[in-house]
Amino acid sequence: MITTSGILSFDDCEKVLHPGMRKALFQFLPRQEKVQHCVILLSEIPITVNEFAVDDFKLVPMSTEWHPFKPYGLLLHVPIGFDFLTAPLFAEALAPILSFSLRRRVKAYRRSYDAKSPPKELDEYASIRLPSVSVGPEGSLQQKLSNEEQIRRLETFAKIYETLMKMNGKEYLAVLRALHLYQLSLLNYREDIGLAYTLLVASIESVAQCFLNVEFSFNDLSDAEEWERILAGLKIPEQHIVDIKDKLVKKTRFLGLKFRSFIEKYLPESFWVSPDSRAKELDDYLEELRKEHFGTEFKERRDHFESYWWLYTPERKVTRNELDGVLKSIYDLRSKFAHAGISPPSEVIDDYETAEIKVEIDNKGRVKYRRAIPSYFWFERVVHESISKLLRIL
């Protein structure tokens, strides 16, 4: 089933992108006329670098003029061999990789054009007339990137694409689906923060199921103590108890534990010593503007940690020792949202990577402190850096 408008099946798209799957499932593609098509990608930030070529396709920015109330068009020239129906499928599968690499919202528009003679009014069409839902306008994700950072992230995009193309089918699908869930999380961030948070959890679950080779035991069950109590009250042979425990382990998927284990394994050490990524992005962009307008001798600027001291206080910074507990809270939130539609508390809607310490009173009237669920952007960075490290070592 190939769909290019209306309701889209991502299954069609993911198989078009990988050469091995494309050859096996879309035998008709090589027989198409040798005309190159292009598809519009909508970005929430302007890409100001020159056209960027990867393998046998390229990205061409359509407009670099800053306008906070419209999406920005990128022309994706798809490889020769795709026709006007299948070119949008290629774009749909590529958009999650670009979105993940840029850490910005990118979505594909499901219409293709002749790459040799796209309509002259295409830029206006992309920036004004195309649906901008989930891409713009809105400021919390539209923070611009410096040219240097854009180039670095586009180079990362090329490396990720190359890595994906070398994977076997199972690993390729697991990673691309994780990147797709990450992209959908960004696209749904302003529509429903609870759904966006849940999609980030699902992104990690997708790769954990494929790449985390861990054996779990009865003691890893969340209700192991309760089962021990029940089994202790049964007057049955010890071997039967052992068999029951084995069956309980085999029927349990340990999704929450796999989710935590993957992040704890792949989250790089640099995460704990590097600055808040969004604050650093703003630093870099302002520094580029200073150099452009005042030259390299301009000295009137403050150190990053002096400017953002409030982000690094113990009350706002999650520590390594708190990671497992915070991830448990995030997974509990995922379960609450998935089963009852409960959105996270307002603290997660923060533009920076923060997580306040909360005061609680227990049932005995004692004061306790716990780390609140971190902001969306803290968790987005955790997910991004964990998957990025996996891709670097594959």
Q: What is the pLDDT of residue 313?
A: 93
Q: pLDDT value at position 116?
A: 81
Work out the number of other CB atoms within 10 angstroms of the CB of residue 62: 20
A 10 A CB-CB count for 139 gives 11
CB within 8 A of 354, min separation 6: which ones?
A: 311, 316, 317, 347, 374, 375, 378
- What are the E-state strand segments in 30-140? 37-43, 52-54, 57-61, 72-77, 106-114
pTM value is: 0.89
The pLDDT, as a whole number, for residue 133 is 46
Domain ranges of the chain: 10-142, 218-253, 274-375
pLDDT at position 312 = 94
C-alpha pair distances (Å), 283 with each of 150, 279, 305, 307: 14, 6, 11, 9
CA geometry: angle at 143 spanning 351 and 147, to 5°?
Answer: 140
Q: Which residues are CB-neighbours of 191 under 8 A, at least 6 positions away?
A: 133, 134
pLDDT at 369: 86
Task: Say if CB 279 and CB 304 are below 8 A apart.
Answer: yes
Do 211 and 262 touch, CB atoms closer than 8 A? yes
The predicted pLDDT at position 118 comes to 72
Which residue has 């200073």 as its token pair? 290
CA distance 309 to 332: 31
d(CA 75, CA 176): 21
Structure tokens at 102: 């840029």
Residue 367: its pLDDT value, please? 87
- Written as tens digits, the pLDDT of the chain (394 aa) is 455 556 778 888 898 899 888 877 766 555 555 788 999 898 888 899 989 999 999 999 987 777 766 778 889 999 988 888 888 999 999 999 999 999 999 988 888 888 887 766 666 666 555 445 455 445 667 788 999 999 999 999 999 999 999 999 999 999 999 999 999 999 888 888 999 999 999 999 999 999 998 777 777 777 678 878 888 888 788 887 777 777 776 766 678 888 999 999 999 999 999 999 999 999 999 888 888 887 766 666 678 998 899 999 999 999 999 999 999 999 999 988 888 888 898 889 999 999 999 888 888 888 888 899 999 999 999 999 999 999 999 8
Identify the bridge partners of residue 106 per DSSP, sorted by sequence position.
43
Q: Is 3 exposed, middle or buried (0-12, 13-18, 19+ CB in 10 A)?
A: middle
Host H or E run for residue 357: strand 357-361
